[in-house]
């Protein structure tokens, strides 16, 4: 049976990965992947040359594991600042397009971007920021956001990206943990036509963070805001001109401390370095997404999520134009995302499966009304796919000619563990396999669901959790990823490999359901629920049962035109049983108006379960976008005596 998408001659001839592989004597994808795993030294040496990394001092050794695999370092002796590569392109080439929700559009060429970065870096230095200091960026995706990210790297300071929707307490915890010296914030931004204040939130967070010496304010919306003595306006910070001075950083010097939330405990500050995260981001974009100089890439994200810094660093290092959208994908109408594609001739578009499920509610017309002929690659990450939304995205956005590069990894990974490429066939909802250079395995066997593990280090691997990341005995990092099997990274995802060799992520292993002795990922149950004509979105959780041990409860969001009745709930239950078998028939289906999600559209199943069971501690909720969804689920649990 043919795959859903097969690479045409156009894709094969253009493929940067295929050209790279053949240059090194690898004439098929399987041999390229084997080389990338079996000869880490040779593969990564060739990759950094292909990416054109700029070395102030050449490295003498690619990989050093003398402190142990969990504490591997890369590019021994090499001195490089990733910003040198990000700005080394033709001055007149377009670097950044930024569109606001209200319709404003700004553009910068690489020459203009370089000048802005130089001014911002000089301004930050005037505030006392030095190499190794931490600077937080609490901004929507704007031109200033990209400039600030690069300026912080130019100084050799460490970026602390902060989600634009966080409250003061969540921000303060990160500022204190990282001992942030300067906080960069906007006066506000627009969401669904409403003005959202940011400066007041930043002030409250800075007041609770003794290390913050200055707050730089970007006038994004031009609203009055309370002034403090520590405030510095962005226009004041960046006035005048200055030469671009790049700090002399080693490949292992800090580039970023980015916080990732877990089920329990405070958020973890993953430390990334100049020779790590930016290199992995650029490599994945080149090898998996075939992003090349002159392409235009839009990813629906936020600077506080991994994909924000990934897009800025990786996209610019490859000489592509990054398209930043500061707004919601369906405002003022469901055609907004497709209008941006048409207006800016986007070639590479990234949207999460959850966002696609939301856009599906408006039907095909808003997509098909816009010109999508510029699209070359579709991307997705964040959640496992269900078949219906995948096919909808494939047929409507990409007209069945564009591959969907499914991509899954994590903040601590700097990008993908598994992905697709434009060189290889793609099946619906699947991954082609490990990303080049990632020695990943779906433990235990083909055809069964197993833990996703990585057996060898890679450049983008976090160097540990801040602030104890340089101490080999630091337990939280080791216990999170390295405690299950000796020298094996256990990521916390369930993976499955089918008989044709395609990979599937079945959800987080801590979300796993065990019904009638069978272990199943929630994504499989959710796909069966979404296969029902009335259901647009679903989340499956396991809850304790006195006799059965655990049963499945499905929370479902209905398509317009369907009423939440007991009869429909039974019908959805039967649909799931029909798809998965009677033993996996859910105990109940609960209809809700929305599911708890993060801003980057990840469904928080752990929160759903805790709220439904009436637990008082729901874990870290700092990334939750819609608290009302939690209360709706808690009420459903109370009504049924869960």
Which tens digit of pLDDT belongs to each residue from 1-30? 689 999 999 999 999 999 999 999 999 999
Query: Closest Cα to residue 200, out of 167, 237, 159?
Result: 167
Q: Check residue 560 and report its DSSP letter.
A: T
Residue 367 confidence (pLDDT) above 50: yes
- Angle of helix 29-38 relative to helix 40-51, nearest 10 degrees, comes to 110
In a 13 Å sphere around the CA of 222, the CA atoms on its Cβ side amount to 0
Q: In the chain, where are the structural domains located?
A: 512-640
Query: Closest Cα to residue 164, out of 597, 607, 599?
Result: 599
In degrees, rounded to 5, the angle at the alpha carbon of residue 180 between the alpha carbons of residues 177 and 183 is 130
SS3 130: coil
pLDDT digits (tens, 9 = 90+) for 567-600: 999 999 999 888 777 777 899 999 999 999 876 6
Residue 443 confidence (pLDDT) above 70: no
CATH 3.30.300.30 fits 512-640, yes or no: yes
Cα(415)–Cα(628) distance, rounded to whole angstroms?
31
Q: Tell me the two tokens of residue 408.
A: 């899954």
**In the prediction, which pLDDT does 591 show?**
95
Transcribe 250-281 into DSSP letters: BTTSEEEEEEE--SSSSPEEEEEETTTHHHHH
* Cα torsion angle, 559, 385, 349, 324, sign: positive
Residue 511 confidence (pLDDT) above 80: no
Residue 264 confidence (pLDDT) above 50: no
Buried-exposed string 56-66: b where 16+ CB fall within 10 A, e elsewhere: eeebeebbbee
DSSP bridge pairs for 624: 598
Residue 605 confidence (pLDDT) above 90: no
Query: Closest Cα to residue 528, out of 499, 552, 510, 503?
Result: 552
Does an H or E element contain 158, and which?
strand 158-161
DSSP bridge pairs for 45: none
Query: Closest Cα to residue 148, out of 94, 213, 215?
Result: 215
E runs forming strands in 168-245: 182-186, 188-191, 194-197, 214-218, 231-233
Residue 490 buriedness (CB in 10 A; 0-12 / 13-18 / 19+): middle
pLDDT digits (tens, 9 = 90+) for 223-251: 999 999 999 999 999 998 999 999 999 99
Q: Tell me the two tokens of residue 32.
A: 């390229």
Contact 463, 456 (CB under 8 A): no
Instruction: Please state, as a whole number, how many other Cβ atoms lie within 10 Å of the Cβ of residue 193.
Output: 11
**Cis amide bond preceding 332, omega within 30:** yes
pTM confidence score: 0.86
Q: Check residue 384 and report its DSSP letter.
A: P
pLDDT digits (tens, 9 = 90+) for 172-231: 999 999 999 999 999 999 999 999 999 999 999 999 999 999 999 999 999 999 999 999
Percent of residues, the chain, with pLDDT higher than 70? 93
Does an H or E element contain 21, and which?
helix 16-23
Cα(254)–Cα(276) distance, rounded to whole angstroms?
9
**In the prediction, which pLDDT does 325 show?**
98
In a 13 Å sphere around the CA of 391, the CA atoms on its Cβ side amount to 8
Cα(385)–Cα(504) distance, rounded to whole angstroms?
9
| Phi, psi angles (nearest 5°) of residue 574 | -65, -35
Q: Tokens 């990521």 appear where? A: 491
DSSP bridge pairs for 157: none
Contact 158, 192 (CB under 8 A): no
Residue 442 confidence (pLDDT) above 80: no
Cα(177)–Cα(165) distance, rounded to whole angstroms?
19
Instruction: Please state, as a whole number, how many other Cβ atoms lie within 10 Å of the Cβ of residue 544.
Output: 10
pLDDT digits (tens, 9 = 90+) for 290-348: 999 999 999 999 999 999 999 999 999 999 999 999 999 999 999 999 999 999 999 99
Radius of gyration of the chain (CA): 24
**In the prediction, which pLDDT does 556 show?**
95
Does an H or E element contain 389, and which?
helix 387-392
Percent of residues, the chain, with pLDDT higher than 90? 74
Contact 68, 472 (CB under 8 A): yes
Range among 163-167, 280-284, 410-414 with highest mean pLDDT value: 280-284
Buried-exposed string 139-174: b where 16+ CB fall within 10 A, e elsewhere: bbbbbbbbbbbbbbbbbbbbbbbbbbbbebebbbbb
Query: Closest Cα to residue 503, out of 541, 556, 449, 460?
Result: 449
Can you say how many angstroms the Cα of residue 572 is from the centroid of all Cα atoms in its chain?
32
**In the prediction, which pLDDT does 263 show?**
44
Query: Closest Cα to residue 503, out of 418, 415, 389, 587?
Result: 418
Q: Check residue 461 and report its DSSP letter.
A: S
For the chain, the distance separating the N- and C-terminal CA atoms, rounded to the nearest angstrom, is: 45
Cα(477)–Cα(71) distance, rounded to whole angstroms?
10
Sheet holding 254-260, edge to edge: 231-233, 214-218, 182-186, 134-138, 158-161, 254-260, 268-273, 465-466
Query: Closest Cα to residue 287, out of 14, 26, 15?
Result: 15
Query: Closest Cα to residue 412, out of 348, 457, 352?
Result: 457
Cα(23)–Cα(46) distance, rounded to whole angstroms?
10
515 confidence band (pLDDT: 50, 70, 90): low
């Amino acid at each position: 049976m043919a795959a859903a998408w097969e690479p045409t001659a156009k894709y094969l001839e253009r493929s940067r990965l295929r050209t790279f592989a053949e240059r090194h004597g690898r004439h098929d994808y399987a041999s390229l992947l084997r080389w990338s795993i079996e000869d880490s030294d040779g593969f990564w040496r060739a990759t950094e040359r292909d990416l054109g990394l700029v070395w102030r001092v050449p490295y003498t050794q690619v990989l050093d594991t003398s402190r142990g695999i969990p504490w591997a370092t890369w590019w021994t002796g090499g001195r490089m600042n990733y910003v040198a590569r990000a700005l080394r392109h033709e001055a007149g080439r377009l670097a950044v397009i930024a569109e606001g929700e209200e319709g404003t559009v700004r553009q910068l060429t690489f020459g203009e971007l370089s000048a802005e970065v130089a001014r911002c870096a000089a301004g930050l230095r005037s505030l006392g920021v030095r190499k190794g200091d931490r600077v937080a960026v609490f901004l929507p995706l704007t031109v200033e956001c990209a400039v600030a990210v690069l300026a912080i790297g130019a100084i050799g300071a460490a970026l602390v990206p902060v989600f634009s929707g966080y409250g003061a307490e969540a921000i303060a915890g990160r500022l204190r943990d990282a001992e942030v010296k300067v906080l960069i914030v906007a006066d506000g931004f627009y969401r669904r036509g409403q003005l959202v204040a940011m400066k007041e939130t930043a002030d409250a967070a800075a007041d609770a963070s003794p290390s913050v010496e200055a707050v730089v304010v970007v006038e994004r919306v031009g609203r009055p805001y309370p002034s403090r003595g520590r405030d510095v306006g962005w226009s004041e910070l960046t006035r005048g001109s200055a030469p671009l001075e790049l700090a002399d950083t080693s490949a292992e010097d800090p580039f970023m401390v980015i916080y990732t939330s877990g089920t329990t405990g405070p958020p973890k500050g993953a430390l990334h370095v100049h020779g790590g995260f930016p290199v992995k981001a650029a490599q994945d974009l080149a090898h998996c997404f075939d992003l090349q100089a002159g392409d235009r890439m839009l990813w629906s994200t936020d600077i506080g999520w991994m994909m924000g810094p990934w897009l800025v660093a990786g996209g610019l290092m490859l000489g592509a134009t990054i398209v930043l959208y500061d707004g919601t994908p369906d405002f003022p109408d469901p055609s907004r995302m497709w209008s941006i594609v048409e207006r800016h001739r986007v070639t590479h578009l990234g949207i999460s499966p959850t966002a696609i499920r939301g856009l599906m509610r408006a039907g095909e017309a808003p997509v098909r009304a816009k010109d999508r002929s510029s699209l070359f690659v579709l991307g997705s990450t964040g959640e496992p796919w269900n078949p219906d939304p995948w096919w909808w995205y494939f047929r409507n956005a990409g007209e069945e000619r564009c591959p969907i590069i499914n991509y899954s990894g994590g903040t601590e990974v700097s990008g993908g563990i598994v992905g697709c490429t434009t060189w290889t066939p793609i099946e619906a909802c699947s991954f082609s396999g490990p990303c080049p250079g990632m020695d990943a395995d779906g433990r235990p066997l083909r055809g069964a669901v197993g833990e996703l593990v990585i057996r060898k280090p890679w450049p983008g691997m976090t160097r540990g959790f801040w602030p104890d990341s340089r101490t080999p005995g630091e337990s939280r990092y080791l216990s999170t990823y390295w405690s299950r099997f000796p020298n094996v990274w256990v990521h916390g995802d369930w993976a499955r490999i089918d008989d044709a060799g395609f990979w599937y992520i079945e959800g987080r292993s801590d979300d796993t359901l065990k019904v009638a002795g069978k272990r199943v990922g929630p994504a499989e149950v959710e796909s069966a629920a979404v296969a029902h004509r009335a259901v647009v979105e679903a989340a499956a959780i396991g809850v304790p049962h006195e006799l059965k041990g655990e049963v499945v409860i499905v929370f479902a969001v209905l398509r317009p035109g369907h009423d939440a009745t007991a009869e429909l709930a039974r019908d959805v239950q039967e649909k799931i049983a029909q798809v998965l078998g009677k033993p996996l028939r859910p105990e109940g289906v609960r209809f809700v108006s929305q599911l708890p999600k993060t801003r980057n559209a990840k469904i928080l199943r752990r929160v759903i379960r805790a709220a439904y069971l009436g637990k008082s501690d729901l874990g870290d909720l700092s990334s939750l976008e819609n608290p009302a969804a939690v209360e709706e689920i808690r009420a459903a649990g109370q009504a049924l005596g869960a």
